[in-house]
Amino acid sequence: MTRVILFNKPMNVLSQFTDRGTEGSDRQTLSDFIKVPGVYPAGRLDRDSEGLMILTDNGRLQARISNPKFKQPKTYLAQVEGDATEAQLDQLRRGVDLNDGMTRPAQAVRIDDPGLWPRTPPVRFRKSVPDCWISLTITEGRNRQVRRMTAHVGLPCLRLVRWSVGDWTLDGLAPGQWRDA
């Protein structure tokens, strides 16, 4: 029987079970939260990003979730600096030309503040610069792709939370919590 775990990765947690960084490093990893033998992450999430990670003991499922050729949709909630315009969202919807090539078209909409948990450390706010939230669904998984896409259209990312992967969502999971799917 395949085991699938949904985990809400907090900010500053590495999306791996061991820290191969500098000696004496005390960075948190998945092993600080998940004590289940034989499961491995299906894909990665940057240390400075939060949200849904899927872990499984099934190698085929792991590949299907993480390999871009399967075009598994991943939805991110991004708090961005600036006041997102329809023109900027349209650029994201068409795909943007990054230094590693054109991205696939994304679904991009402006959303109300989703009322997420407080982030530690808090997002920096500047009184003179507005910010807003957008929902962005992509079917690729390039390195820091969502951050690079939003920056490319003039909306630097302040906070990034992966909300869903395929049909799996973060709904009901607090940061650092996990459950079987």
Calculate the average pLDDT of the chain.
93
Residue 42, pLDDT > 80, answer yes
Q: Are residues 77 and 157 in the same domain?
A: yes
The pLDDT assigned to 163 comes to 98
Using pLDDT thresholds of 50, 70 and 90, give the confidence band for residue 141: confident
| pTM for this prediction | 0.94
Q: Are residues 147 and 174 in the same domain?
A: no
CATH number of 23's domain: 3.30.70.580
CA distances from 48 to 11, 73, 78, 121, 149 (A): 5, 21, 12, 10, 16
CATH number of 148's domain: 3.30.70.1560
What distance in Å separates the CA atoms of residue 35 and residue 146, rounded to the nearest whole number?
Answer: 30
Residue 22, pLDDT > 80, answer no
CA distances from 12 to 28, 73, 113 (A): 7, 24, 22
Q: Which of 13-27, 72-86, 153-167 has the lowest mean pLDDT?
A: 13-27
* Among 19, 32, 46, 57, the one annotated catalytic: 46
**What is the domain count for the chain?**
2
Using pLDDT thresholds of 50, 70 and 90, give the confidence band for residue 21: low
Q: Are residues 20 and 77 in the same domain?
A: no
180 is known as an active-site residue: no
Q: Are residues 52 and 124 in the same domain?
A: no
Mean pLDDT of the 5-13 span = 97
Nearby residues of 45 by Cβ (< 8 Å), 6 or more positions away: 9, 15, 51, 52, 53, 162
How far apart, in Å, do the first and last CA atoms of the chain sit?
12
Q: Are residues 61 and 115 in the same domain?
A: no
The pLDDT assigned to 20 comes to 74
Q: Residue 176 sits in which domain range? A: 4-68+169-180
The pLDDT assigned to 122 comes to 84
Q: Are residues 102 and 174 in the same domain?
A: no
Pairwise pLDDT comparison (113 vs 24), residue with the higher score: 113
Q: Are residues 159 and 91 in the same domain?
A: yes
Q: Are residues 28 and 99 in the same domain?
A: no
